[in-house]
Structure 1
Amino acid sequence: MTNRLTPLSDAPRRRLLLGLVATAAIPLLQGCFPVVATGVGAGAAMVADRRTSGTYVEDEAIEWKSGGRISEFFGSNTHVNVTSFNRNVLLTGEVPNDNTRAEVERLVAGVPNVKGIVNELVVGPTSALTARGNDTLITSNVKARMVDANRVPAHNIKVVTEANVVYLLGLVTRTEADAAAEVARTSQGVRKVVRVFEYISDDEARRLDNPTGAKR
């Protein structure tokens, strides 16, 4: 299944909250808090990423700002995960009604640098901690299998799982996307796979993977 990306106008931009659900062992608030990588690990991840270093940092900021804004407006009444990749935002989780679903998207749209939004929020009761823990296990399994798979640039693909549905984000070629989707589709517990990829050519992938100079 392919994503439905809503491009933003030049007017207000959007912002996002956090992508991956927290581990089941840690008590969660209904709103997710973003995780910002720091130190040597963040630097290594940034270098390997196909995004520019500036975009990488912008994505982290988008998630951080969105998380705070959504928590401020809705508190524990919603369970919303915000994931930003290349300034395109994926919204997953549960909200009580359609008005809240639209309002969350509006809030994220107000965050600087947001380029587009894929709103996959579901109207319904917030998920249980056990369900979120299961989603976390699915995400970990899919990531591990991608590392072992051929033709899948695992370090360039972000995996998000919500209610056994796996969302895949990244700057990838069509061949890489197909391979990654197949790994996710055949992973245990996965109900559906949704592609939220941005597609690039083989030449562009090679250029991004082998930059001649430092990332901008």
Structure 2
Amino acid sequence: MLRARWLLLFSIVTLLPGCAAVVVAGAATGAAVAHDRRTFGSIVDDQTIEMKAGSAIVGNSDLRGQTHVNITSVNGIVLLTGEATTLEARDQVLQTVREVNGVRRITNELRIAEPSPVGNRSKDALITSAVKSRFLVARHLDPTRFKVVTENNAVYLMGIVTRDEGDLAAEQAATIDGVERVVKIFEYLD
């Protein structure tokens, strides 16, 4: 009986740190959704657009090995970043995304090039993290209102913001080491 109690206590103690992480992650996600200017339905629609477009591209055998495509959607505005080895492959990606229900507009930033190496993608991920961190400490800037995407040292900012918020975010992103350009893809409230 004593052994069973110790085993139960040990199990509870070892599982608690995991619970804390789940609670913190859930709270952070809830806070981000609460501050997002999109409706909950629009957030779900954007995730659906990203998943359907991504699945259609990955499932297309003609594009396999010819593309590296990132799909980001905010309020039905889709950003395509990455590489396509030919104009035909790029055009096929664009056509595939256009056919996804809910896409209002596409910003095409696909480069005609070989798919980028993992090292470049890792550097881009570090830049994205640095931009998001800068947004956290910047005054008059709510980081939960922005999607940040980095591809080939270019930072793309998306969201539903005021012009002042958009300008401040772009200024902050431009100060990060390694950023070569900042592209604003906003829907403005004013």
TM-score, length basis structure 1: 0.73
Residue of structure 2 in register with 1:205 after alignment: none
Q: Counterpart of 2:118 in structure 1: which amino acid?
A: L
1:91 maps onto 2:91 in alignment: no
After superposition, what is the alpha-carbon deviation per residue over 1:98-122, rounded to whole angstroms, capped at 9, x for unaligned?
Answer: 1111110110011111111000100
Task: Give the percent of matched residue pairs that are identical in Structure 1 and Structure 2.
Answer: 46
Q: Find the aligned partners of 1:172 and 1:40 in 2 and give their Cα distance.
A: 23
Q: Find the aligned partners of 1:53 and 1:42 in 2 and give their Cα distance.
A: 12
User: Unaligned regions of 5+ residues in structure 2, if any?
Assistant: 1-24
Cα offset for 1:43?
3.7
> Do 1:69 and 1:107's aligned partners in 2 also have CA atoms closer than 8 Å?
yes
Pick the aligned partner of 1:133 from 122, 142, 163. 122
Cα offset for 1:59?
0.4
Highest RCO, 1 vs 2 (Cα 8 Å, sep ≥ 6): 1
Residue of structure 1 in register with 2:137 after alignment: 148
> Do 1:170 and 1:196's aligned partners in 2 also have CA atoms closer than 8 Å?
yes
Please give the root-mean-square deviation of Cα atoms over the aligned residues, in Å.
1.4
Residue of structure 2 in register with 1:117 after alignment: 106
> Do 1:47 and 1:53's aligned partners in 2 also have CA atoms closer than 8 Å?
no
Q: Counterpart of 1:199 in structure 2: which amino acid?
A: Y
Pick the aligned partner of 2:55 from 54, 68, 81. 68
Q: Find the aligned partners of 1:164 and 1:141 in 2 and give their Cα distance.
A: 12
1:56 maps onto 2:43 in alignment: yes
User: Unaligned regions of 5+ residues in structure 1, if any?
Assistant: 1-37, 202-216
1:163 maps onto 2:152 in alignment: yes
After superposition, what is the alpha-carbon deviation per residue over 1:174-195, rounded to whole angstroms, capped at 9, x for unaligned?
Answer: 1111100000111111000011
Residue of structure 1 in register with 2:33 after alignment: 46
Q: Find the aligned partners of 1:44 and 1:177 in 2 and give their Cα distance.
A: 20
Q: Find the aligned partners of 1:43 and 1:184 in 2 and give their Cα distance.
A: 25
Pick the aligned partner of 2:67 from 64, 68, 78. 78
Q: Counterpart of 1:141 in structure 2: which amino acid?
A: A
Residue of structure 1 in register with 2:13 after alignment: none
Q: Find the aligned partners of 2:52 and 2:28 in 1 and give their Cα distance.
A: 22
After superposition, what is the alpha-carbon deviation per residue over 1:55-114, rounded to whole angstroms, capped at 9, x for unaligned?
Answer: 000001111111110001122321000000011000000001111111101100111111
Q: Find the aligned partners of 1:124 and 1:99 in 2 and give their Cα distance.
A: 12
Residue of structure 2 in register with 1:213 after alignment: none
Q: Find the aligned partners of 1:100 and 1:63 in 2 and give their Cα distance.
A: 19
TM-score, length basis structure 2: 0.83
